[in-house]
A and B are shown apart, each in its own frame.
Chain A
Amino acid sequence: MATSAAKYTPFKKNFLMKHMKYPAIIIGTGLLTLCFKTLAQSSVRIPDPLQNLRPAEIESLAKQASSFFSSAKPAITASAKSTVTISYRNNRISYGTIVLAPGATHPTVLTKWSEVSRVRHSLMINTPDGNRYPAKVSGVYPDHDLAVLSVETPGLKLTPLDLTASAVPDLGNFILMARPDGNVDGFGVVSVQARSLRQSDRAYLGVGMDFATAGKGVSLSKIMPDSAASNAGLRIGDIVLTIDNTAITGFMQMRSLLQRLDPGSEVTIRYRRGNTEKETTVQLGSRDENKDARKVPAKHMNTMEGMGTTPSRVRTNFPNVIQSDMPLQTDNTPEDTRDDFTNDCGGPVVDLDGKVIGIAIARGSRIKTYIIPTTTIQSVLATKPQPVSENLGRRDGRRTRQNTDRNSRPGNTPAEKNDHGGRLRRLLEEIEQNNLENAENLRKIKEALPNLK
C-alpha cells in the first residue's frame, strides 16, 4: 500500500508547493503537438485523485491507513527496540539497526553508508530510550552500501536485533518497518523475492539473437568477440535448438534461460548449421556491467522513477535484495532544506510475526524499496568490514528527483552549512564523478564510431 501514516500529513501544508516542485512531471517530451515545458508557470497541474474525493471518503481512507498501521504495531515491538535514528546536527539522516556481529563483545549499528558518508565525522545515534550518543563509522561493507557505526560510551546498553528470529517471506507477505518510538514507519508487501541486481551475476553467452519467433530454435545474428560463444565456435546463422536439453522456442526464452544460470557454469548447446546438427559445450561468461543490457533507463522512465518519491542516491547493483512496494519516506518537507538528506533507510524490516526480514537499504523508484535479507546480513557480519577511507563508497546512482538543482547547490546540506571542508570534499566528489562519467561517455562514443555509416 503506497501510503504511510506520516505521508499524508505534509500533504496538508505543502499541497500546492508539491505541485510547483515537480515541473518535470508535467513535461510532455517529444509529443508532436506541443511540449509542456513551462507548465510550472501556468496554472495547469496534474490531478491528484484525492482531489476528486468527497471529504468523507478521504477521511475513510485516512482511517483505513491508520488502522493498518496501528493493527501492525505489535509486530514491530521487538525490532523498534533495536532501531535507532542517526542524526547530524540535530537533523535526522537515516535509521540504523543495532546488531551484534559474531564474536563481537559490543553491539554496533548498521546503516546506509552512502547517506552518512558525507557527514560521518559528527554523527549521533538516538536510541529508543531517548538518549543521544556520538558514533563513528568504524567500517564499511561497500557492496551492500552498509556502514558499521560504533558507539564508545562506557556502560551504554544497546539491544541488538535477534537475527536468528528471521523469516524468508512469501510473495505478497505484509512487511513493516519500525520507528524507534514503537510506531510503524512503513508498510508494504514483498513484491519480488531476493535476487541479485548485478548484471555480473548473470551468465553471458555472447550472442545476438534473431527476433523472429516462428519455428524451432533461435537463429544467431551476432557473435561477440572473445565471448563464450565465439570460444565454442558458434557462428552467425547457427540455429540454437536446445540448451541442456531444453528446447529453445524464442529469443526471450533463450535469454531468460541463460541469464538465470551462474557465470562459469557449463551448458551443452545443440544447434543446426546448414543441414547438419552439432553439439558443443560452452563455459558461460559473466555479463559486463558496463557493456550491455543494464539499460540506462529512458528519459521518461527516469522521470517516472522519481514521481511521488525520492529515489536513494545509491540504489542499484546490490548483491542480494528483496523488493517491496513499501514507500520509504524521504525528505517529506520539501520547503525545509535542512532535511534534504533525511531518509528511512537502515532500519529493520519485519513480518507480521515480528520475524526479521532484513534491513531497508534503498528507495529504488516510485514502485520499489530494496531490503537486504537477514541471511545476507548474517553472512556480511561474519566478514570483516573495510576500513573507512576517503574514496570508499559507491556512486552508481544519483537522485533523480525533479529539481535536483537545489540539492546540488552547495551550502544546503546539513554538512555544508557550517562545514567548509565538507563542502570542498563534496565538490571534489562531484568533479571526480563528472570525470568518471566523461571517461565513460568517451569510451561509448569511441565504441560507437566504427559502427556508424
Chain B
Amino acid sequence: MVNICDAFPVELLIKDIINPDFMTPMIRSLHFSIVGFLSVIVICGGQAAPTMQSIEDLKSVQNKVNKVVAKVLPATVSLFSAKNGASGSGVIVNKDGLILTAGHVVRGAEEMTIVFPDGKQARGKVLGANYTRDAAMIQIIDKPKSGSWPYAEVGTSKTLATGDLVIALGHAGGFDPVRTPPVRFGRVITHRTNKFLSTDCTLIGGDSGGPLFDLDGKVVGIHSSIGADLTSNNHAGIEGFHQDWKKLQAGETWGSLGGSNLGDPDAPVIGIDAVEAPRGGVSIQRIYQDSPASKADLRVGDVIRTISGRNIRNLRALYAAIAHHKSGQSIKIRITRGQESLFRNLTLGRRGDIRR
C-alpha cells in the first residue's frame, strides 16, 4: 500500500502484509449479467448495493453529487508545512476552522499553512494525531473575515455498507492554482479493517487527509492510502475520529502509522535497504550512515538469518521482527558473511534520526 501524501516515499503497511486474511490467494469470478433488479437507490434488505434502474435514477444521484460538491468544495483545503515539507489535504468541519486530516500528513509539523481552493491562505496549528488510525486535527488560528470558515458537516461511517455511494475530494498532486480539487465518485467496497474503509474513488499523492463524503455531503472518511488496484483506495473512517475527538482536539498524539512504521519518526529501524536472498534470509543492499547497522559493523552483502532467535526467512519476517521492538531496545542479530556466521548486538534507532 502506498501512502498518498506527496512528500512520502512509497510505503507498505505492515499490518496488511502480515494479516493472514490478505495472504489467502483468492481467485473470484465476477460475472456480469445485466439483470433488471429490484428497485432503486433503496438498499435492498440492508445488504445489496443500491442499483440504478433508469436515467432518472442516475440523474437524481447526479444532482446530489452536484449539490454536495458545490457545498463542500470550499472547505476542502490543501495543507503544507514550510518547515518540514509535509503536505496533503484536509477538510474544515466547523465554522471556527477545525480541520480533519490524515495522521501522516501532519507528522512532525507543529504549524501548517492552509490553502483554500481559491488560493487564499491561513495559518493552522497542529492539534493531536492518532497515527494508528491515520487521524489528525488542525486548528486554523486566523479569524475568518465573514465570521465563519467554509465547512462540511461530519457524518457517521458506522452505517456505511458495501455499495454505498460516496464522493471524494482532495488536492491530488498538490495544490494547483488553476484547478479546483478533483471530484471523484464511487462506492464503498469494504469497511472492516481497523476503522478503515476502502472505496473505488481513485486517489493519488496529495489526496492524503482529504475528505470522503456521503451523498448528503457529510464527511465519512479521510483519505489515507492506496493499493495496486483502482478499487483499493483507503480512508480512515470518521468513526475513529468520533471516538478520539476530545483527545485529538486536546492535542494528544499517540499510536503509530500502519502499526509499526511509515512516517512515524519513532519507529524502530536498523538503517538498511535489503532484498530477499535467493536461498532464504535477507541480503543487505545498503547501510545508512551512522545507523545502528553501520555502528554494529554490518556490511552490504551480509545476509540476515535471525533476529533475537527468530528466523528471518524473508523481508516480511524481518519487518515483523523489528516491528516487535521499540527504538532504543537491543536485538541480537545473526548474519552470514560469505562462509562465516556472525552474531552482532545492535541497538535499534529511531527512523527520524537516520539521514538518507
Contacts and interface: CB of A to CB of B under 8 A. Distances in A.
Interface of A: 1-3, 5, 7-9, 11-12, 15-16, 18-19, 22, 25-39, 41-53, 55-72, 74-75, 170-174, 188-193, 195-196, 202, 211-214, 249-253, 255-257, 259-260, 297-301, 303-305, 307-309, 323, 325, 327, 352, 365-368
A8 B32 contact: yes
A166 to B, nearest CB: 18
Contacts of A41: 276
Contacts of A213: 82, 113, 121, 123
Nearest to B26: A51
11 contacts: A9-B32, A12-B30, A18-B229, A28-B9, A33-B319, A39-B315, A45-B22, A172-B66, A304-B2, A307-B2, A309-B230
B55 A72 contact: yes
A304 B205 contact: yes
Instruction: Give the interface SS of chain B, mostly helix, strand, loop or mixed.
Output: loop
Contact of B232 (A46, A190, A193): A46
B318 A33 contact: yes
A365 B234 CA distance: 18
A192 B35 contact: no
Q: How large is the interface on B (under 10, 10 to 19, 20 to 34, 35 or more residues)?
A: 35 or more
A366 B177 contact: no
Nearest to B349: A32
Interface in B165-180: 167, 172-173, 175, 177-180
A3 to B, nearest CB: 6
Q: Which of A51, A53, A327 has the most CB of B within 10 A?
A: A51
A19 B177 contact: no
Q: Which of A3, A39, A75, A325 has the most CB of B within 10 A?
A: A325
Given A48-B231, A58-B28, A2 B4 contact: no
Nearest to B119: A256
B337 interface: no
Contacts of B49: 60-61, 63-64
Given A12-B27, A34-B282, A304-B226, A47 B10 contact: no
B189 A61 contact: yes
A294 to B, nearest CB: 11
Contacts of A30: 9, 273, 356
B9 A31 contact: yes
Contacts of B47: 56-57, 60
Interface string B109-147: 000010100111101000000000000000000000000
B318 to A, nearest CB: 6
List the 9 shortest-distance A-B pairs measured between CB atoms, nearest first.
A256-B119, A250-B121, A256-B177, A67-B51, A35-B273, A64-B49, A191-B182, A211-B82, A47-B22
Given A52-B21, A301-B173, A325-B184, A32 B228 contact: no
Interface stretch (B90-98, B152-160, B196-204, B236-244): B196-204
